[in-house]
Structure 1
Amino acid sequence: MTTYSGPARLTLVDGTRVSGMASLSTNQRGGVDGWGGTFRPDRTDDDIRNAGDGLTLELPYDQTGSVAVTGVRKLLATQILVSLAGSGPAPF
């Protein structure tokens, strides 16, 4: 299993870029390769809460991967945690 934890930027379908922190890992169960994890945005608004498919996650050094939001939950009064499922090669 490979992991990444650190700064990231989520690009929404409309091109809006949201900075935050990502915690990602690969999962290789039963011969199925995939990756995913969570993203904690620096700001919280309805665009992020309502995001779905067709997003891009950018890591340092211009590494990018396609992601879909699989869930959103409230962490604190002003923070949310976004669950992501990646498609294609992992960018880390």
Structure 2
Amino acid sequence: MTTTYSGPARLILADGACISGMASLSTNQRGGIDGWGGTFRPDEITTDLRDATEGLQLELPYDRLGTVAVTGMRKLLATQLLMSLSGRGPAPF
């Protein structure tokens, strides 16, 4: 069974700074391994965001939080960044 979420989200950095954007997430339940992850496209790109890898949380609507780690980043356009995320613990969606 696969569960997905696509919509607004906020990435909360280790220092408490919040970055709004759009998330596309899914759960992965194959072979007894539970996990979740996906991508996050921030509305703005900051130096702190580029350096962020650990100690992050992703907040979805209705105050649902999940702990995430950044597993990759790539530029989409001159002003857009796509971050790959790996979730830890229960999925917030």
Q: TM-score, normalised by structure 2?
A: 0.97
Shift of 1:52: 0.7
Match of 1:47, SS state, is helix
Aligned partners of 1:85, 1:54: CA distance in 2, in Å?
A: 12
Match of 2:29, SS state, is strand
Match of 2:87, SS state, is strand
Paired residue type of 2:68: V
What is aligned with 1:62?
A: 63
Q: Which sections of structure 2, spanning at least 5 residues, go unmatched?
A: none
Shift of 1:23: 0.1
Question: Sequence identity of aligned pairs in percent?
Answer: 74
What is aligned with 2:49?
A: 48
Paired residue type of 1:79: Q
User: Any runs of at least 4 consecutive aligned residues in structure 1 with deviations exceeding 4 A, and if so which?
Assistant: none
What is aligned with 1:19?
A: 20
Shift of 1:43: 0.1
Q: Which sections of structure 1, spanning at least 5 residues, go unmatched?
A: none
Q: TM-score, normalised by structure 1?
A: 0.98
Aligned partners of 2:86, 2:52: CA distance in 1, in Å?
A: 13
